[in-house]
Amino acid sequence: MVRTEISLFLKNVPGELGKLAILLGEAGVNIDALTIQDASDYVQELFKARGKSLKRIAPAASYGSMQKDSAEFALIRLLVDNTDKAIDLLSKEQYVFDIMPVIALEIENKPGTLAKMAKKFGEEGININYVYGSALPRGKKSLFVFCPEDIDLAARIFEDQD
């Protein structure tokens, strides 16, 4: 249930995701979940969030420059079946990455199940920073990855989901 997510930036050019997938695949590391977004969207959201909290790390001009530069990169978040091995590979290949704990829930693939999970977060007062997930049509289960602000509380309230 609590898993380690790897976040990294890839150049936003054809073939980069393939290189990453080949690196992991040839080492026998399976990707369990993955999401990709334009890194400039990430920087823009960071700028908005920092502006609301009045705790900007850098001046507004710096965020503008970061957003322009970040359009050349994509932000990849992934869960793998062997995090330690993946981290070793990424380090050896000089990828820039970060890790963080997330809540990965395997839930029933039927209407309303995700709503129940999201409602549970809300009832406990836990903000969800981001979520991604997927299921096969007509499949019995879905995998959803939640990045809550309070990982310890989220782990406690969802411990019966294992």
DSSP class per residue in 80-136: ES-HHHHHHHHHHTT--EEEEEEEEEEEE-STTHHHHHHHHHHHTTPPEEEEEEE--
| Range with the poorest average pLDDT among 30-44, 99-113, 127-141 | 30-44
Q: What percent of the chain has pLDDT over 90?
A: 57
Backbone angles phi, psi at 153, to 5 degrees: -65, -45
- pLDDT of amino acid 56: 45
Q: To 5 degrees, how large is the angle CA 103–CA 143–CA 139? A: 160
In the chain, where does the domain assigned CATH 3.30.2130.10 lie?
A: 2-99, 101-161
| Alpha-carbon distances, residue 97 vs 9, 14, 28, 86, 107 (angstroms) | 7, 20, 20, 11, 28
d(C-alpha 3, C-alpha 79), whole Å: 7
Q: Does domain 2-99 have CATH number 3.30.1360.120?
A: no
* Fold held by 101-161: VC0802-like (3.30.2130)
State which amino acid sits at residue 124. E
Whole-angstrom Cα distance, residue 110 to residue 135? 10
Q: 3-58: per-residue pLDDT in tens?
A: 999 999 888 889 999 999 999 999 999 999 999 987 766 665 655 555 544 444 55
Radius of gyration (C-alpha) of the chain in whole angstroms: 17
